[in-house]
Structure 1
């Protein structure tokens, strides 16, 4: 028995090292063949897609975005071109980073790319994506967008609210005059608090439903439509809350961000601030309150705001669209169900579109026909096409009026010992782009 042990051991070793691997060779061959076929199919499929970095299994290119996605996407565009393809997890994604490609996305193929993907966060924060921004393209989205434009955002409606905006800007000036310099609040309300607030607003409007026609606001109109609307397109209470959230939260945040970046750039560029103040004070004379009727004369302040939209767009990457069918963009095939992003931040700093693109210079817009209303794709802070922001007129009126009044009412300067070079301009990436650090400035009341 002892003599058999070495033989058994040798046989076992042969079976382990020789026979078993040989038995696995057909399986290994099949696996390798499958991988080669999949690789060939993938290369064939990729050959029709825009260029982009190689993806790794499971996470795709997510690891390449980092915490500042708009900067990472700009760097990838510099390497691969103005249209790139990424695999974000299992989601095929295309990113446009030039005015030329953005025009194809937002104008040429506007209808094919008019839908929005159902984002996880949007479902939970915006009442299951029933708001204007995130609702899928279709009859419901057209219905609620029409309501918003006709009842709140038409030129006539926007003009009718001018006295309200002027009152709010006056309150802003009073708060600055009465408080410590540099105090700034941020939007911290959670969905639960918003929902509670909206319940209170709706209840107040229901209890005071007998209003004169001229005094009705958007909430009154929405409640009336809910009560008397078509059964084919019912408007639920959550739908109404989602629309209010669009108008209230999104508009408030982007307006604040624009004013924050404007004041930051102006204190860093005192000659620009002086020029803007001289313009508004020259027009106002001894009057203390800027009226909306004064705004058409404030051409330099309008140029300052355009430069802020270019250099610090409040939404650095537009809310993604989703292709409803295969389309060809810049010569590349974009399959259906692909998410398409437009990097507005990168377009605003693209040297092919802008001379001295990294310099804050409002004078570039003096005498220029470039505007931000969706026709000039070098400057699209509000998007363009069917999914462009419907509140452009309303939002810009608020920003122009507030900035003009702040420049007219106060002289602004940095605290002693602080220079422009000391300011931290680091951005915090998100749906909207805040500054990481608060801006502390001294506001000295100006008396005409």
Structure 2
């Protein structure tokens, strides 16, 4: 009899729980931002298309600039306005200082990523080291000759194509350039490697696969009971990519170590005049230590992780921005002509435009800003809350993913006049009501309506390098060539004018959906190239 009574009591309690659960849930849900209808298990995944940032933008039109999603078992909030971006990324920066460690990121970055790792002593140490020795204004200037060599290599290739009337696939050539720049700044491929070209190409292919994997949703990251399952075959791809990269970078490090041993006997001849590449600096710290790394462990694995970070962050993003800028100029010939007139005034027709010309090219700088506004190479700024905080009138729980939709913010008509129109002049003219207006906006994370590089403690550390490269390379390509677009890239407008397709391809970054294939037409004597 006691057993029957106990079972009856449990049944009554269960019914009461079911009856009260909606009330308590609805009470707690009022603290969360508005949210669409969710499905069991998958949550709101059914609302997302391949271009996640565009799906988030469409949802923001219905649910406002701050809304809540559940992706599988992962709670998320999405922000699509500058004011809320400032509140979350500046006012509550320490609440959203972390980033989620997904399976692919954790494995491919050796669980030691500068870009994705947790904020703490190691992150502070490696960021300070990277900024001081690799990405500071001084370091970027020291490697200017390497970048110039790569610019000229590309321009000479284009000149040969122009001479023969051949088409060139800029979607393939631009990543080669940025990959070579990063490789030579970090690894000094000229030092003792007999197979630098082959390794550069292998590195480029591995980096492309890594960024592709990072940009895909792995169900095992979001549905708790799938954590140990490889339903989409990601595990095999991740391990294969990790093996290829690890083999490649291990050979490079081992060869450098052997070269350093040989050179030890010949030290002291030139007083250390040669500029060290970043790998030598990292190996110095690994061998001798430094005052800065006394509180953290620094190993060979950390060197590999840092190399992976800079290859993935520095190769695709710069190349993608360059391609979008060229595509917009081809689609807007008046803007192209105005940029060319400015370049001709500054550099003339007897020398190539160079990086030091950048500050004297305000219209080219405006073109870069406008390109980054419309086409940020990384469309969303991801964070993860490490503690509960309030955003607006809502409570955001701990361990909630935050997506700041920089792509949507750059197209918000509340902050940008004619936001879908490519109009660089908006960054030159002050507002009619007085003040500096958009001309005062920069891309360094201080103005929250324009965040192509993020902001705060986790702003992109490669900012200085990108802003040094983009105006010079774009300026040189505009100065040296006209561009005939191959028909496969084009579509008809109402006026039967052929213009480039401007659709996006899915991924962690936002490349163009179609390769940019053009026939260059030389307008600058190739003999004048340095």
How far 1:271 moved relative to its partner? 0.7
Counterpart of 1:247?
A: 310
Q: Secondary structure at the match of 2:353?
A: coil
Which stretch shifts more, 235-244 or 347-356?
235-244
How far 1:37 moved relative to its partner? 2.2
User: For 1:437, which of 501, 506, 514 is the aligned residue?
Assistant: 514
Counterpart of 2:81?
A: 98
Q: Distance in 1 between matches of 2:128 and 2:315?
A: 21
How far 1:43 moved relative to its partner? 1.1
Counterpart of 1:331?
A: 393
Counterpart of 1:83?
A: 66
User: For 1:68, which of 42, 45, 51 is the aligned residue?
Assistant: 51
Q: Distance in 2 between matches of 1:241 and 1:32?
A: 56
Counterpart of 2:152?
A: 170
What is the RMSD of the two structures over their aligned residues, measured on CA atoms?
2.0
Q: Distance in 1 between matches of 2:284 and 2:149?
A: 27
Q: Retained in 2: the 8 A contact 1:111–1:386?
A: no
Q: Secondary structure at the match of 2:395?
A: strand
Structure 1 residue ranges without an equivalent (≥5): 1-23
Q: Secondary structure at the match of 2:67?
A: strand
Q: Retained in 2: the 8 A contact 1:226–1:234?
A: no
Q: Distance in 2 between matches of 1:107 and 1:213?
A: 42
State the TM-score, normalized to the length of structure 1: 0.90
Q: Secondary structure at the match of 2:521?
A: strand
Q: Distance in 2 between matches of 1:340 and 1:213?
A: 46
How far 1:231 moved relative to its partner? 5.5
Q: Distance in 2 between matches of 1:419 and 1:425?
A: 10
Counterpart of 2:474?
A: 403
How far 1:28 moved relative to its partner? 7.3
How far 1:381 moved relative to its partner? 0.4
Q: Secondary structure at the match of 1:441?
A: strand
User: For 2:205, which of 188, 198, 204 is the aligned residue?
Assistant: 188
**Structure 1 residues 19-418: aligned runs within 5 Å:** 31-128=14-111, 130-179=112-161, 180-183=166-169, 184-185=171-172, 187-189=204-206, 190-209=241-260, 210=263, 212=272, 214-229=274-289, 230=293, 232-318=295-381, 320-367=382-429, 368-415=439-486
| 1:82-116: CA deviation from partner (whole Å, max 9, x where unpaired) | 11111111111111111111111111111221111
How far 1:25 moved relative to its partner? 9.7
Q: Distance in 2 between matches of 1:278 and 1:419?
A: 28
Q: Secondary structure at the match of 1:289?
A: coil
State the TM-score, normalized to the length of structure 2: 0.76
Q: Secondary structure at the match of 1:104?
A: helix
How far 1:117 moved relative to its partner? 1.4
Q: Retained in 2: the 8 A contact 1:95–1:342?
A: yes
How far 1:26 moved relative to its partner? 8.4
Change (3 A) 1:192 1:175: farther
Counterpart of 1:5?
A: none
Structure 2 residue ranges without an equivalent (≥5): 1-6, 176-203, 207-240, 430-438, 526-530
Please identify the structure whose Cα radius of gyration is greater.
Answer: 1
Q: Retained in 1: the 8 A contact 2:167–2:486?
A: no
Change (3 A) 1:339 1:416: closer
Q: Secondary structure at the match of 1:411?
A: strand
Change (3 A) 1:257 1:177: same
How far 1:416 moved relative to its partner? 6.7
How far 1:124 moved relative to its partner? 1.9
Count of residues in Structure 1 that have an aligned counterpart in Structure 2: 423
Q: Distance in 2 between matches of 1:265 and 1:126?
A: 34
Q: Distance in 2 between matches of 1:393 and 1:277?
A: 24
Q: Secondary structure at the match of 2:380?
A: coil
How far 1:156 moved relative to its partner? 1.0
Which stretch shifts more, 87-96 or 413-422?
413-422
How far 1:221 moved relative to its partner? 1.0
Q: Secondary structure at the match of 1:427?
A: coil
| 1:397-428: CA deviation from partner (whole Å, max 9, x where unpaired) | 11111111111111123247956645332211
